[in-house]
Amino acid sequence: MSLYTFAKTVVAIFLFPIYRIKVVGKENVPKEGPVIICSNHISNLDPPVVGITSPRDIYFMAKGELFEKPVLGTLLRKIHAFPVRRGMGDRNALRSGLKILQNNETLGLFPEGTRSRTGKVGKGLAGAGFFALRSKAAIVPCAIIGPYKPGQRLTVIYGKPIEMETYRQNKSSAKDTSDAIMDEIRKLVDNYHS
């Protein structure tokens, strides 16, 4: 058993009962080929929650500073994290993300770049659009809904892959593409509450 699988199992044992996690739409995540899962961001626990609810192993970006600590950096790499320097165009992180997709793996992104203070879905940065346009990955919108309060239901919804071919053919900007992805995430949240 890999360290990733072990960590995923242990985290799931703790988080599923604490937050009464309900998963909707797992079947919308393609079983094969490159995939980008794009989620809203409401808590520091979002990456492990997406990690344990996704049917596929996910690679996430993590703050570059975390990798400067030797033991933590090694551990993070073993659980499929890779460094990104925030606040600047980090070419190494972009290359790493594209390589993951070229290897038919799954990349997990939080397009807002930071947690929403209000809980509402915010604006996306251009990064998600960059990866969507530069790869042939299926783009799966994901919505995390509910308070992170022990005993209260937390719902994770995976939507159907977003049709991206039009954006790729029209050479849309990364920002416009990210906006379209955020709109789909917003719809998942709004439709769930209605």
Instruction: Flag whether pLDDT at 85 surpasses 90.
Output: no
Instruction: Kindly report, residue by residue over 123-147, the tens digit of the pLDDT.
Output: 998 999 999 999 999 999 999 999 9
Q: State which amino acid sits at residue 193.
A: H
Q: Which long-range contacts (CB under 8 A, 24 or more apart) does 111-114 make?
A: 111/38, 111/178, 111/181, 111/182, 111/185, 112/40, 112/41, 112/182, 113/41, 113/86, 114/41
Residue 156 pairs in a beta bridge with 23, 144
User: Taking the model in full, what pTM does it have?
Assistant: 0.93
CA distance 80 to 194: 36
Instruction: Flag whether pLDDT at 74 surpasses 80.
Output: yes
Instruction: Kindly report, residue by residue over 8-21, the tens digit of the pLDDT.
Output: 999 999 999 999 99
Instruction: Flag whether pLDDT at 5 surpasses 60.
Output: yes
Instruction: Flag whether pLDDT at 194 surpasses 60.
Output: no
Mean pLDDT, range 112-131, rounded to an integer: 89
Instruction: Kindly report, residue by residue over 161-174, the tens digit of the pLDDT.
Output: 999 999 999 999 99
Assign 111 to helix, strand or coil: coil
Residue 91 pLDDT: 86
Instruction: Flag whether pLDDT at 63 surpasses 90.
Output: no
Residue 105 pLDDT: 98
Assign 108 to helix, strand or coil: strand
Domains of the chain (ranges; CATH) run 3-193 (3.40.1130.10)
Residue 182 pLDDT: 97
Instruction: Flag whether pLDDT at 103 surpasses 50.
Output: yes
Mean pLDDT, range 39-66, rounded to an integer: 94
